[in-house]
Structure 1
Amino acid sequence: MLPSDRLSFIILLIVTFEVCVAEQSELICSHQPIVALAGDDVILPCYLDPPISASSETVVWTKPGLDPKYIHFHRDGRLIYDNQNPSYNFRTRLFVDELQNGNVSMKIFNAKISDAGKYFCILESMLEEASIQLTVGVISTPITEVILHNFKDIVLRCESKGWYPEPEVVWLDGEGNLLSAGPTETVRGPDDLYTVSSRVTVEKRHSNNFTCRVQQKDINQTRETHIYVPGIKRNQKNENEQTEKEKDEQQDVEKSVIPRKPNYMKKQNAVENTCEDLPILKGKKEEDQRDQRDKMERSQREETSGTGNNTEDEKQKTLENTKRQRKTSCSDGERLGRREEEWRKSL
C-alpha cells in the first residue's frame, strides 16, 4: 500500500470513529428548572454524554417567541452577532475552552424577568436538541405595621412590593403557628412585578411577637419580617375612673356592714365650737349634756352678776374659764360617743 493510500485510510478510520461516537453521544440539559434572581448571572447547563468535542459544531441557543429567534449563534469558533436577538446583545457567552469536552452550556449576564422561559440548545450537524427551563424571580422584604390597637384586638398589616412570580403571604404567631388572615390583596404593575398586602386580626398574646412571611415556592425564596406589639396599657383617665369606681364600691360595702361613725371631732381653736354639733344621744347621755349646759350657764350668770365692777383682766379670765369648760364638756361628749360605739361593736 502506497504511503498516500495509507494516510487516506487512517483519516477515513478517524472520521468513521467520530461519526460512530457522535451517533452514540446524547445532548443533555438540566431536567430541573434553573432559578435566578433578577440582576444575577445564570448558567444554563448542557453537555454531550459521553463527552466528545463540539469545537467544530454549530451551537445554537434559541427561545420560542423571539424575533429574531436566536439568543446565541456560534459557528466556526465565534459568535455570529447578526443573528442574535437585540435583547441579548453582549449578555450571553459559551465556554469556548470547554467545547472540546462537549460542554455547550450558555451563560446569561444580568438576568431579567423577560429572560424567564424555555430555552433550546441545538447542535445542527448532529441533529441533537435539548431544552431547559429558566425562572427569573424578583423579591423584596415585607414591611409590617399596626393599624389598630385597642383593648381587645390588634390588627396588623403587611406589604411587600416588587415580587416575581406572584408570591403568597402567611402570618405566624410567636410560637410559629399559622394565623388565620384575610385574603391577600395582589396588584400587578406595568413592570410585571407584584405587590402583595395582607391583614390579620389577633388577640392580645403573652409574647406579642408576630411574623409576616412572603414566599415564592417556584424560585424557592422567602422573606419575612418580625413585629413586636407592646402590651396594652390603660390610660391615666381610665385608671382614675376605675379607682373611683372601686372606692365607691368599697364604701357601699362598708356602709352595709359597719355602722356610720358619728363625727365628734371639731376644731379646737374656734370660739363658736359648742357641743350642739354633737349627735343627740339617748338616755343618760342626753341628761349629762343638759346638766353640763345648766352648770355652765349658772356659773356664767353668777360670775357675771358678782363681778359687775371687775376689771378687764378679770373679765378676760372669766371668758377663758368659760371656753375651757365648754371644751371639757365637748370632750366628755366625745368619750360618751366612743363608749357607745365600742358597745355597739361588742354586740
Structure 2
Amino acid sequence: MQPWCVGISTLLLSALLPWPGTGQFHVIGPGAPVIALIGKEAVLPCHLSPVMDAEDMDVSWYRSHPTGQVHHYSTSQDLIEHQRHEYRGRTEFLKENITKGQVALRIHPILPSDAGEYRCFFASSTFYNEAQFKILVTGSGTAPQIYIEPGYTGEMKLTCTSTGWYPEPEVQWRDVRGQRLTSASETKTAAENGLFHVETSITVDTRSRDGSCTIRNPVLREEKEAQFSLSDAVFPRLWPWIVGFAVPLCLLAAGTTFSVLFVCTKRRKRLIKKQYGKLFWI
C-alpha cells in the first residue's frame, strides 16, 4: 500500500471516531460489589471518564431489580418526586467534586432490602451513559448462647441461639478437636426487619468434654463462637442430689452416735450403782 493511501485511511478512520470534547463519556462505578453493613451507611461513587464538568447533567441512581429510582439530581437540585418510597429520607447526593465529574450517593441507614443491583446514570444534552454495580448487605448478630439440659440416660441436649444476622448465617458444632458434629435440629427464621434468628440443637454423650457452637457470616467471613464444657455442666446438675443425700446421711450418723453414747452412759451408771451403791451414784 502506498504511503499516501495509509494517510487517507488514517484520516477517514479518525473522522469516524468521536473527537475529544464532543461530549461523549464513560461512567465508571464501583469496581467491586459494595459491602454495606446493616444500620450503617453506604457510599456509592461514580465518575466520568474523561474528566468533565457534570454540574449541568442529570445524575440518577436506579435499582435494577426491582426497578425504580433511588435518587435524581437535575438542574442543580435534588428531585425526589419519583423516588422509591423506601429510600425517602435516607439518601444524600454528594457533589463536592461534581465539576470534575465525580459524585456519590450516600444511603443511611442500610436495610436488608437495599441489597441488589444498581445503575448510576449520567445524561448531558447530547449524550448519556451508565454504570452497573451491586450492593451486598450484611450484618453479624449477637454472640451465641448455649443452654444445656438433661436428655436421655447418659446424654445431654445443647441448644445454641443467636439473632440479628444477614444474610442467612452458617452454623457449625465442633468438638474439642475441631471436628464437626451433626446437629439434631436447626432453624433460621427471618424477623419483620429481615434479620435472621438462629436456633440449633445437638445431643451429646456426657462422656464428651468440651466443644463449641460457631455462627459464621458468609459475606464478611466473620465468626462468633460460644464454647461449652460438659464437665462443668454435669457437676452442678448432680450437686442437688449430692446435697440431698449427704444431709440426711449426716443427720442419721449424728443421731446414731448420740443414741450409742446415751445407751453406753446409762449402762455405765447402772454398773457403778450396782458395785458401789448409792454412795457413788452420780
TM-score range, shorter chain: 0.5 to 0.7
Match of 2:132? 131
Match of 2:201 among 192, 199, 205: 199
Paired with 2:116 and 2:222, the residues of 1 have a C-alpha distance of: 18
Match of 2:21 in 1: 18
State the secondary structure of the residue aligned to 1:144: strand
User: What do residues 257-288 of structure 1 show as CA deviations (whole Å, max 9, x unaligned)?
Assistant: xxxxxxxxxx99999xxxxxxxxxxxxxxxxx
Q: Work out the number of aligned pairs and report it.
A: 226
Of structures 1 and 2, the one with the larger relative CO (CA 8 A, separation 6+) is 2
Over the aligned positions, Cα root-mean-square deviation in angstroms equals: 3.2
Partner of 1:56: 56
CA separation of 1:232 and 1:66: change in aligned 2, threshold 3 A: closer
TM alignment of 1:82-93, pairs within 5 A: 82-93=81-92
Bigger share in helix: 1
- d(CA) in 2 for partners of 1:97, 1:154: 62
Letter in 2 for 1:104: V
Deviation of residue 231 (structure 1)?
A: 6.2
Deviation at 1:74, TM superposition (A): 0.7
Could you say which residue in structure 2 is the equivalent of 1:181? 183
CA distance in 2, matches of 1:154, 1:73: 59
Give TM-score scaled by structure 1 length: 0.56
Assess, with a 3 A threshold, how the Cα gap between structure 1 residues 75 and 154 changes in structure 2: closer, same or farther. same
Give 1:1-347 correspondences, 5 Å limit: 17-19=20-22, 22-23=23-24, 25-64=25-64, 69-125=68-124, 126-141=127-142, 142-148=144-150, 152-204=154-206, 208-229=209-230, 230=232, 232-233=234-235, 235-236=241-242
1:232–1:190 CA distance, 2 compared to 1 (3 A)? closer
Where does structure 2 lack aligned partners over 5 or more consecutive residues?
Answer: 1-18, 247-266, 276-282
CA contact (8 A) 2:141 2:164 kept: yes
Alpha-carbon spacing, 1:120–1:171, altered in 2? closer, same or farther (3 Å): same
Classify 1:238/1:173 alpha carbon distance in 2 versus 1 (closer, same or farther; 3 Å).
farther
Q: Is the 8 A contact 1:36 1:219 kept in 2?
A: no
Separation (CA, whole Å) in 1 of partners of 2:108 and 2:129: 25
Distance 1:179 1:77, change over 3 A: same
CA contact (8 A) 1:136 1:219 kept: no
Aligned-residue offset at 1:42: 0.7
Which letter does structure 2 place at the counterpart of 1:72? H
Name structure 1 gaps, 5 residues minimum. Answer: 1-15, 241-266, 272-315, 317-347
Letter in 2 for 1:192: G
Task: Give CA-to-partner distance per residue, 1:126-146, whole Å, 9 cap, x none.
Answer: 321111111223432222111
Deviation at 1:201, TM superposition (A): 2.5
**In structure 1, distance between residues paired with 2:152 and 2:203:** 11
Further displaced range: 126-135 or 174-183: 174-183
